[in-house]
Chain A
Amino acid sequence: MTTTTTELTGGGAAPEAAPTAARQRRSGGLGSYLLVRFLLIFPTIFILVTTVFVLMRLTGDPITAAQGGRLPAEELARRVAEAGYDRPILVQYWEYLGQLVRGDFGTAISDGREISDMLTSFGAATLELAFYALVVAFVVGIPLGRLAAYLRDRWPDAVLRVFAILCYATPVFFAGLLLKLVFAVNLGWLPVAGRASTGAEIQLQQQDGSTGIYLIDALTLGDGEVIQDVLEHAVLPAVALGLLTAGVFLRLVRTNVIGTLGSGYVEAARSRGVSERRLLRKHAYRPALIPIVTVIGLQIALLLGGAVLTETTFEWKGLGFQLVEYLQARDFVAVQGIVVLAAVIVALVNFVVDVVAALIDPRVRY
């Protein structure tokens, strides 16, 4: 265990203890780290956009994919030529990149909607769901992880670890189905599906300056019943999606608290007579939370993927729900738009997470 000592003391106290020269080098390091990290966003998005574009086009042009077989051949060829899909693929790629830079995602083939318009309106619903799920994940995962670490190798720890694995092992849509079956169908406590009841939904959408995030809209509306309705609809999807991430958090907090509890400075504090409870709360717990920040970046990807499944399960009309609709219509222009948006979100979130991690933890900058 001596091995961990060097590492951990280096983490917490190093910046203050380090000589001035070293500190200056570090602050320079932060600036250039952030710059490099910022610049890295672009290749990331570029790679994903290119990958998606190439993959999508391997199968042919979107119009043939969407309407092939339903239209006579000449009509199809005319439409393909009209949309410019008969030009060389590189020309189309270049044009596509140009459009993306301008924020123009094109028009959906199936329903003729502006894709950027579709993304913002349905994105709000997905954002709301992801937020609820993260709240559930934090509230469930972190305290339980701490508890499991504290009671390490005793039966509550075993139960909690199995619970964490269960969270991870249950597909979100199965968790959703079960929750629906028990709480919505059998017990009838909560609504089966949707983001709000029809009446409330109309009220929310007719409101001036509606954000599309129902909770915020309901709060500005100030109608207690609508707020309750919106929250009731959110419970099951949020729990289904949140538990997935909660399992990851639980495991991570447990592992890290155990790691810090065994570290040199905790040992030192223990030898000074600090109580076990205080050791856990003041010394071991806080530094163990830092990795949560870094992992959130990856959780966003998991949440987005999980949101697609959760939204389908609960008919939560967000991007994931819409994605499945477009997939069934074989509208690959719209699908591409959603996937590219996900790429941008992931790249941005990971950037923010890395910046926060660098600010908290000086070792990351190297």
Chain B
Amino acid sequence: MATSITAVDAPGDLPAAGRRPRGWRGLPVIRQLRQSVGLQRGMLVAGLILTGIFLLTALFAPLLAPYEFNQLRDAAGSFGAQQAPSSEHWLGTTVGGYDVLSRVIWGTRTALYVIVAAVLMSIVIGVLLGLVAGYFGGWLDRVLVVVADAIYAFPSLLLAIVVGIVLNGGESSLRGGIMAAALSITVIFVPQYLRVVRAETVRIKAEAYVESARVIGASNWRIMTRHVFRNATRTLPLIVTLNASEAILTLAGLGFLGFGIEPTAAAEWGYDLQKALSDVTSGIWWTSLFPGLAIVLVVMGLTLVGESLNDLADPRLRTRRRGPATPADVAETSVVPGSPAADSSDLDHGKGSL
């Protein structure tokens, strides 16, 4: 842990804002893109492209998809079940008689809804709890940390299933299904945000500028929102990208186990894969391959972005540009002790890692 603290202290211990590049060049991802070189830049760019395609597909799904996600027939009659890829159905049809391509495309929307809902809810709850726990400390802090640790260590899918049971009691509408999935995922994510924000808050609380604010007479609320919040949440974009990919995997897992959203309400990749399970044995490959590939590509895109951002934030891992670089950036980006996002599953093991 000594590493990052000294790293932060090294260039004079200024709150880094003063030195940060201004304008669009200072925006989170763009700044890292400019900072990266070689292979790292390649991975970041690849990730950004995949993520971009994902977002665009979700946005323009109605235009891109040849059919509705719940369409079973067109003017020429019923699609038919398990039809092999053809000119009419580029990726074939599912066992339920839906067009695979359309469901893959519409699935991006469902995935995006769930990511946005889950990440927003986790950030709001997790950051708030983290700030309060870290800032005030005491028994509340201890209880929150123990609870968060217990939940964090638990298999997230099982937890999501339990939450799904509670919320999904008969609900399989689009909104109900999405909220159920998003809430299940939120329960898993809150502990992560709580821990990261809490650790940062504890560190920042001891900084001189917080002390001065207190001396001036700023209220706890003002210090928390003005001074601590902005600084404690700097690493969040990184965790968000990694969590977004986890959200998709959890959603797909839930869908695969039958907690998905009904095919008439929305297209969901996990659900389609569950239905394709029996197809595989009879050699029908198109019903499982394409929804699965969609998951892999989206998760990969998000993970590539997240990992690259993380590596760029960690001075030990960042590939240096040759020639005079600006070492000041090191202090700005790598702030969390033990670099918690080195691996999404490495969060609370900063204590022992390395």
Q: Which chain A residues have a beta carbon within 8 Å of chain B's beta carbons?
A: 1, 3-4, 6-8, 10-11, 40, 43-44, 47-48, 51-52, 55-56, 58-59, 65, 153, 157-158, 161-162, 165-166, 168-171, 173-174, 177-178, 180-181, 185-186, 192-193, 248, 251-252, 255-256, 258-260, 262, 287-288, 290-291, 294-295, 297-299, 301-302, 304-306, 308-309, 312-313, 323-324, 327-328, 332, 335, 338-339, 342-343, 346-347, 350, 357, 361, 363-364
B42 x A158 contact (CB < 8 A): yes
- Separation in Å of the B122 CB from the closest CB of chain A? 17
Contact of B166 among A55, A192, A260, A288 (CB under 8 A): A55
Chain B stretch 144-177: residues in CB contact (< 8 A) with chain A: 146-147, 149-151, 153-158, 161-163, 165-166, 169
Are A258 and B316 touching (Cβ within 8 A)?
yes
State how many angstroms separate the Cβ of B240 from the closest Cβ of chain A. Answer: 17
Interface residues of B in 241-268 (CB under 8 A from A): 245, 249, 252-253, 256-258
Q: Which residues of A contact B154 (CB under 8 A)?
A: 48, 301, 342-343, 346
In the complex, what's the smallest C-beta–C-beta distance from B300 to chain A, in angstroms?
4
Question: CA of A258 to CA of B315 in the docked complex: distance in angstroms?
Answer: 11
With A170-B296, A177-B273, A309-B256 as known contacts, state yes or no: A44 contacts B165, CB within 8 Å: no
Given A178-B288, A248-B345, A291-B353, output 14 extra A-B contacts at Cβ < 8 Å.
A48-B154, A51-B151, A157-B39, A165-B304, A171-B295, A181-B288, A185-B281, A256-B354, A259-B354, A323-B161, A324-B257, A339-B158, A339-B162, A361-B352
Q: Are B346 and A7 in contact (CB under 8 A)?
A: no
Q: Are B39 and A153 in contact (CB under 8 A)?
A: yes
Q: Which residues of A contact B119 (CB under 8 A)?
A: none
Residues on B with beta carbons closer than 8 Å to the beta carbon of A165:
300, 303-304, 307
* Chain A residues near B7 (CB-CB < 8 A): 3
Smallest Cβ-Cβ distance to B330: which chain A residue: A3
A215 to chain B, nearest CB (A): 24
Jot down 24 A-B pairs with beta carbons below 8 A, ordered by A: A3-B7, A11-B354, A44-B146, A55-B166, A56-B162, A162-B43, A169-B303, A171-B249, A173-B277, A174-B273, A174-B292, A174-B296, A177-B276, A177-B288, A255-B343, A256-B354, A258-B316, A260-B354, A301-B153, A301-B155, A305-B157, A328-B258, A332-B165, A339-B162
CB-nearest residue of chain A to B146: A43
B342 lies within 8 A of chain A by Cβ: yes
User: In whole angstroms, what is the CA distance A130 to B173 when docked?
Assistant: 35
Indicate whether A294 sits within 8 Å of B277 (C-beta atoms), given known contacts A56-B166, A169-B296, A169-B300: no
A44-B149, A161-B43 known; A302-B166 Cβ under 8 A: no
Taken together as a complex, chains A and B put the C-alpha atoms of A171 and B298 apart, in Å, by: 12
**If the complex has contacts A171-B252, A291-B349, A305-B157, are A3 and B319 also in contact, measured as CB distance less than 8 A?**
no
Assembly CA distance A47 to B191 (angstroms): 14
Check A252–B343 contact: CB distance below 8 A.
yes
Residues in A whose Cβ lies below 8 Å from that of B6: 3, 6
Instruction: Choose one: B146, B252, B256, B352; the contact of A294 (CB below 8 Å).
Output: B352
Give the docked Cα–Cα distance between A299 and B345 (Å).
Answer: 8
**What is the bound-complex CA distance between A306 and B1, given in angstroms?**
31
Inter-subunit contact A327/B258 (CB<8 Å):
yes
- Within 8 Å by CB of A153, from B38, B158, B257, B342, lies B38
Interface flag for B10 (CB, 8 Å):
yes
Chain A residue nearest to B294 in the complex (CB): A174
Is residue B317 within 8 Å, beta carbon to beta carbon, of the partner chain? yes
The reply on B222 being an interface residue by CB < 8 A is no
Beta-carbon contact of B296 and A58 below 8 Å: no
CA distance A151 to B32 in the complex (A): 24
Interface residue from B2, B158, B307, B349 paired with A298 (Cβ < 8 Å): B349
In the assembled complex, the CB of A198 is this many whole angstroms from the nearest CB of chain B, namely 16
- Most central of A168, A252, A304, A312 by chain B CB within 10 Å: A168
Residue pair B155, A342 in contact (C-beta under 8 Å)? yes
The answer for the CA separation of A233 and B249 in the assembled complex, in Å, is: 26
A346 to B155 alpha-carbon distance, docked (Å) = 8
Known: A166-B300, A262-B316, A361-B352. Contact between A295 and B165, CB under 8 A? no
- Residue B208 at the chain A interface, CB threshold 8 Å: no
Q: Does B25 contact A (CB under 8 A)?
A: no
Chain A residues in 8 Å Cβ range of B1:
7
CA distance A359 to B65 in the complex (A): 57
Q: Please give me the residue from chain A that is nearest to B300 by CB atom.
A: A169
Bound complex: CA of A87 vs CA of B201, how far in Å? Answer: 44
CB distance from A5 to the nearest CB of B (A): 9
Residues of chain A lying within 8 A (CB to CB) of residue B116: none
Give CA–CA (A156, B289) in the complex, Å: 27
B140 on the interface (CB 8 Å rule)?
no
Bound: A271/B285 CA distance, A? 57
B226 within 8 A of A: no
Q: Is the CB of B292 within 8 A of A178?
A: yes
Taking CB atoms, residues of chain A closer than 8 Å to B352 are 290-291, 294, 357, 361, 363-364
